[in-house]
């Protein structure tokens, strides 16, 4: 880029007059995005001085030619705000020219669709030429990219490991996914692993890949299940969480087979025990697949070389930008102490608050915190789809209720179908169904995937106007909105949100190709204890293992010493936490693999030689003392090693006594309560440290029995609506016995929420980890007793716990990317429990349309999206 233009841009930015003109333009432009045309609100605010717009557009032309990203961002702001502030064709043409020079063609396409204008010959030719220079061929379609996307796309032709850092709305995932798809289509044989931190993100990525690669569906398997392909297709793409990827590496031989590894939301490397699992999994993939290409995606991170150093990749190519192709405004929302109807909006900039306008509403805002947040969202979010941040699941429900009670929109066919689905597949009295009919909904991580996806789809279609959501949406899921509302930088009971995560959520305001501008409303921002959204700073990448071993070295040593001494678990300090337990466990595992020197020898790890020697010596002694097999440590090193050793000892005793009725897990489809009650009690006792003896433990025993019953029903594929109905029924019974009153709506919603939590957090996460360890320990104990023929008979119930199906037919349905709700519903109609994926597809082809049309519209839509049925739903 022009050095002269950069120098001129720097000189202009030193002029107070430029910033004064820009503040006026930003105020006028932002005001045009806040209210609907029919809203009757008196607004006072800065006005644009005569000829200021001309000066700014000329300035933007210079900024667009400069080489620094600050100038380019200002040029983009001027172009977008000018197009919003003026209806003159000349202004819109100038804005188009500036955005063309910036290479923001996705944003330009959106702008032109909203403000069509007849371009002059020179502008038309210039835009066309620049657009062609930024256009690449993707699946036979010419796609224009931003400058950053184009640079990233070209860099992916190399084989170097690459870390990709860009704001949430920069379109990095689109380019990386397209690169993977191009490689999959071009190769005769291809295998890739896409690692993402949440199941919600797995579902989204799986759906995108299914659509994009439908033309080669017969030769490629795209799956979220970590098991081998029963059809041995030549092309494989695994879309997995780090836990599922860890499971895959322990059960499937992938050495030398993987061509591409993508780690999305790679900042998860710093997430305590889950970050350590990610680090270990990536390093295993690197060691076993030295020719594989590694790509890491993170939103606005610095210190990306730490990723490579943590997994043994010394050189990483970094492709980063701070420039978002969408103009995102952070707006402070303040209130008057003298007039409850007044609201002050100010643009948050690193230097100061710039006045946008004072709004005189008919509504009064002398309200409590949640009620005020809802009121602000109703007034300022009327111009487009809005996300409202909630500090937890209950808070999301409460905010949604406030929004629903205070608006009266019409309903669409899609919302009616979604509401009926909720009543049919969750519970007929679930308040969410009525909220949806009012055009609002809540969204949190423990919700069933098909319900969550149905809500997301309705929001994307514009049928839902408001979505009250928790931190679930902070990572990855592409859910564009015009507005985001936040009134606190905390979560749960007041714990501070990670600053990078908060910026990630704010980045949902406006998404590439969906909006050219997004507004982040910060309610009562001036009263926040901390103000993390004033100035964006690249967050530093962290590695959980490095941070834990360095900062809590003594605690890690203490835990390893306890392992050497076999200190009884109930006598030890259990407050060490998962992070320290996982760090000590990873050291033990790497010691058992004779690779601890490599882990402790990372150049970024700040430990003295004496400290490293101490960890090495203790790990060797602990392994000798505990006698834990390597097969268990491979996937269960994040669990307490002393607890694992205690569980192994108890399993050995039962095996020696040949008491297999209490020790051998079986397929849960039969009468399996007795054995699973014994197993799960054992898991809670040894791995959970829960006391189950004596009168004082009656409540614990009741809870474990409840977990066992629910886990069995879940593994059998029993409908979620049945599990929820039983939870609500139990709550109603308790209410009748205690206060003789009917169950309130809040209590019904609470019972449903508690069931979601039990399934997602206890059954699908905690029990899955424990079950995997149990199965490995049992197989080891059987082999030690010479009972090799029984090893193959051990039913690995960890996968059934996670998927919620226990038969081959059920797994085949999940293999298609179907949600558990749909998979369980269809499995209940198929009379063969052992069908492969191809056989399941054949079963669908034989069914009459009348059968499919009896199903819920959302279920039919999911089946049709996975190409399992072709019929349209008709009510």
Q: How confident is the model at residue 606 (pLDDT cuts 50, 70, 90)?
A: very high
Q: What is the mean pLDDT of residues 335-344?
A: 95
Check whether residue 785 and residue 834 sit in a common domain: no
pLDDT in tens, 763-774: 999 999 999 999
What's the domain range around 453?
328-532
Q: How confident is the model at residue 495, as a pLDDT?
A: 85
Q: What tens digit of pLDDT does each residue of 700-713 get?
A: 999 999 999 999 99
Whether 649 contacts 778, CB under 8 Å: no
Total domains present in the chain: 5
Instruction: Report if residue 27 sits inside a domain.
Output: yes
Q: What is the CA radius of gyration of the chain?
A: 29
Is residue 414 very low, low, confident or very high in pLDDT (cuts 50, 70, 90)? confident
User: Does residue 696 share a domain with residue 569?
Assistant: yes
819-867 residue pLDDT tens: 899 998 899 899 999 998 889 999 999 988 888 888 888 888 889 888 8
Q: State yes or no: pLDDT of 575 exceeds 50.
A: no
Specify if 569 maps to a domain: yes
DSSP, residue by residue, 513-563: TT-SEEEEEEETGGG-S--TTSS--PEEP--HHHHHHHHTHHHHHHHHHHH
Which CATH number covers residue 463?
3.40.50.300
Same-domain status, 523 and 558: no
Q: What is the pLDDT of residues 179-220, one digit of tens each?
A: 999 999 999 999 999 999 988 888 889 989 998 999 998 899
| Residue at which a domain ends, from 320, 338, 373 | 320
Side-chain-facing half-sphere of 777: CA atoms under 13 Å: 33
| Residues 392, 332 share a domain | yes
Reported as a pLDDT band with limits 50, 70 and 90, residue 404 is very high
pLDDT on residue 136: 92
Q: What sign for the dihedral angle of Cα 436, 441, 442, 448?
A: positive
pLDDT in tens, 83-94: 999 888 899 899
For residues 716 and 833, the answer to whether their CB atoms sit within 8 Å is: no
Domain final residue, candidates 748, 769, 791 = 791
pLDDT of the residue at 570: 45
* pLDDT tens for each residue of 117-159: 888 888 888 888 999 999 999 878 899 999 999 999 999 988 8
User: Within a domain: residue 873?
Assistant: no
Give yes or no: residues 514 and 658 share one domain.
no
pLDDT (0 to 100) of residue 429: 95
537 located within any domain? no
User: Cα(441)–Cα(174) distance, rounded to whole angstroms?
Assistant: 27
pLDDT > 60? residue 583: yes
Lowest-pLDDT choice from 86-100, 360-374, 507-521: 507-521
pLDDT of 410 > 70? The answer is no
CA 297 to centroid of chain Cα atoms:
13
Task: Tell me: pLDDT of 442 over 50.
Answer: yes
621-649 pLDDT, tens per residue?
A: 999 999 998 889 999 999 999 999 999 99
Q: Are 562 and 689 in a shared domain? A: yes
- Quick one: 67 and 166 in the same domain? no
φ/ψ (deg, to 5) at 463:
-80, -40
CB 852 within 8 A of CB 863: yes
Task: Assess whether pLDDT exceeds 60 at residue 750.
Answer: yes
Rounded-to-integer distance, Cα 305 and Cα 544, Å? 15
Q: What is the mean pLDDT of the chain?
A: 90
Whole-number Å distance between alpha carbons of 477 and 647? 39
Does residue 504 lie in a domain region? Answer: yes
Q: How confident is the model at residue 572 (pLDDT cuts 50, 70, 90)?
A: very low
Do 418 and 499 lie in one domain? The reply is yes
**Can you tell me the mean pLDDT for 572-589?**
80
pLDDT single digits (tens) 777-834 = 999 999 999 999 999 999 999 999 999 999 899 989 988 888 899 998 899 899 999 9
138 within a domain of the structure (yes/no): no
Specify whether the CB–CB gap between 131 and 286 falls below 8 A: no
Among 104, 133, 162, residue at a domain's last position: 133
Q: What is the mean pLDDT of residues 614-621?
A: 96
pLDDT for position 407: 87
**What is the C-alpha separation between 811 and 797, in angstroms, rounded?**
13
Tally of CB atoms within 10 A around 362: 10
The percent of residues in the chain predicted with pLDDT above 90, rounded, is 67
Alpha carbon distance 755, 750 (integer Å) = 9
642 shares a domain with 552: yes
Q: For residue 571, what pLDDT band results from cuts at 50, 70 and 90? A: very low
pLDDT at 417 exceeding the cut of 60? yes
pTM comes to 0.90
Residues 447 and 565 in one domain: no
Region 275-301: mean pLDDT is 94
Looking at residue 248, its pLDDT comes to 93
Average pLDDT of the residues in 659-665: 91
Residues 594 and 735 in one domain: yes
Verify that 108 and 233 share a domain, yes or no: no
Contacts for 180-185: CB closer than 8 Å, 24+ residues apart:
180/209, 180/237, 180/260, 180/262, 181/139, 181/209, 181/212, 181/213, 182/138, 182/139, 183/259, 183/260, 184/213, 184/216, 184/220, 184/235, 184/237, 185/139, 185/213, 185/215, 185/216
pLDDT band at 514; cut points 50, 70, 90: confident
Residue 875, in any domain of the structure: no
pLDDT(1) > 80: no
């Amino acid at each position: 880029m022009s050095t002269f233009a950069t120098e001129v841009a720097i000189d202009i930015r030193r002029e107070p007059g430029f910033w004064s003109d820009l503040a006026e333009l930003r105020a006028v432009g932002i005001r045009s995005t806040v209210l609907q045309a029919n809203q009757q609100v008196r607004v006072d605010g800065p006005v644009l001085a005569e000829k200021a717009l001309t000066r700014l557009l000329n300035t933007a032309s210079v900024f667009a030619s400069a080489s620094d990203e600050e100038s380019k961002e200002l040029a983009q702001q001027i172009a977008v705000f000018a197009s919003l502030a003026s209806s003159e064709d000349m202004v819109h043409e100038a804005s188009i020219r500036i955005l063309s020079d910036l290479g923001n063609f996705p944003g330009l396409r959106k702008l032109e669709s909203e403000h069509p204008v007849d371009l002059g010959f020179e502008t038309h030719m210039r835009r066309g030429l620049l657009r062609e220079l930024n256009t690449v061929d993707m699946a036979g379609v010419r796609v224009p990219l931003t400058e950053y996307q184009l640079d990233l796309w070209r860099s992916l032709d190399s084989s170097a490991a690459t870390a990709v850092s860009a704001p949430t709305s920069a379109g990095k995932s689109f380019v990386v996914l397209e690169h993977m798809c191009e490689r999959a289509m071009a190769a005769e044989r291809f295998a890739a692993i896409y690692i993402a931190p949440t199941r919600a993100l797995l579902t989204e990525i799986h759906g995108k890949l299914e659509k994009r690669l439908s033309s080669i569906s017969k030769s490629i398997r795209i799956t979220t299940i970590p098991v081998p392909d029963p059809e041995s297709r030549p092309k494989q793409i695994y879309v997995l969480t780090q836990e599922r990827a860890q499971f895959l590496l322990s059960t499937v031989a992938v050495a030398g087979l993987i061509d591409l590894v993508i780690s999305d939301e790679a900042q998860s490397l710093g997430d305590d025990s889950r970050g350590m699992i990610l680090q270990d999994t990536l390093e295993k993939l690197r060691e076993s697949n030295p020719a594989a290409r590694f790509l890491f995606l993170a939103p606005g991170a610095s210190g990306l070389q730490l990723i490579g150093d943590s997994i043994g990749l010394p050189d990483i190519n970094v492709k980063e930008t701070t420039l978002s192709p969408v103009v995102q405004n952070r707006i402070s929302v303040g209130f008057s102490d003298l007039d409850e109807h007044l609201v002050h909006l100010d643009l948050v900039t690193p230097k100061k608050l710039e006045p946008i306008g004072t709004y005189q509403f008919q509504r009064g805002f002398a309200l409590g915190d949640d009620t005020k947040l809802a009121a602000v969202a109703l007034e300022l979010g009327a111009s487009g789809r809005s996300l409202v941040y909630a500090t937890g699941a209950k808070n999301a429900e409460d905010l949604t209720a406030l929004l629903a009670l205070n608006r009266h929109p019409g309903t669409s066919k899609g919302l009616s179908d979604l509401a009926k689905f909720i009543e049919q597949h969750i519970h007929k009295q679930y308040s969410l169904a009525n909220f949806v009919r009012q055009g609002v909904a809540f969204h949190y991580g423990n919700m069933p995937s098909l319900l969550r996806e149905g809500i997301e789809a309705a929001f994307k279609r514009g049928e839902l106007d408001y979505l009250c959501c928790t931190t679930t949406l902070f990572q990855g899921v592409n859910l564009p909105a015009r507005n985001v509302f936040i009134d606190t930088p905390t979560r749960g009971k007041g714990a501070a949100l990670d600053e990078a995560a908060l910026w990630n959520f704010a980045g949902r305001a406006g998404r590439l190709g969906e909006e050219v501008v997004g507004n982040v409303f910060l309610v009562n921002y001036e009263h926040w204890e901390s103000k993390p959204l004033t100035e964006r700073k690249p967050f530093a990448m962290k590695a959980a293992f490095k941070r834990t071993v360095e900062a809590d070295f003594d605690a890690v040593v203490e835990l390893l010493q306890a392992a050497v001494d076999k200190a009884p678990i109930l006598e030890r300090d259990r407050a060490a936490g998962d992070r320290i337990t996982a760090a000590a466990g990873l050291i033990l595992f790497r010691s058992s693999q004779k690779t601890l020197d490599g882990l402790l020898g990372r150049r970024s790890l700040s430990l003295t030689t004496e400290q490293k020697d101490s960890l090495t010596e203790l790990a060797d002694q602990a392994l000798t003392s505990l006698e834990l097999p390597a097969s268990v440590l491979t996937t269960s090193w994040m669990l307490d090693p002393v607890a694992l050793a205690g569980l192994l000892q108890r399993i050995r005793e039962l095996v020696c006594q040949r008491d297999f009725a209490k020790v051998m897990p079986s397929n849960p489809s039969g009468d399996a309560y007795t054995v699973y009650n014994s197993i799960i009690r054992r898991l809670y006792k040894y791995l959970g440290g829960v006391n189950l003896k004596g009168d004082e433990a009656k409540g614990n025993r009741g809870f474990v029995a409840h977990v066992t019953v629910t886990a069995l029903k879940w593994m059998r594929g029993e409908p979620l609506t049945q599990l929820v109905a039983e939870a609500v029924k139990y709550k109603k019974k308790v209410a009748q016995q205690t206060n003789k009153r009917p169950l309130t709506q809040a209590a019904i919603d609470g019972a449903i929420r508690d069931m979601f939590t039990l399934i997602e957090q206890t059954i699908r996460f905690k029990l899955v980890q424990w079950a995997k360890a149990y199965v490995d320990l049992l197989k080891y104990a059987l082999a030690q007793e010479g009972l090799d023929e029984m090893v193959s008979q051990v039913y690995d119930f960890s996968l059934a716990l996670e998927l919620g199906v226990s038969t081959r037919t059920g797994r085949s349905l999940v293999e298609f990317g179907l949600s558990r709700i749909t998979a369980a519903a269809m499995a209940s109609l198929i009379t063969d429990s052992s069908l492969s994926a191809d056989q399941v597809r054949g079963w669908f082809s034989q069914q009459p349309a009348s059968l499919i049309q009896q199903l819920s519209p959302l279920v039919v839509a999911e089946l049709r999206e996975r190409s399992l049925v072709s019929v349209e739903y008709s009510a």
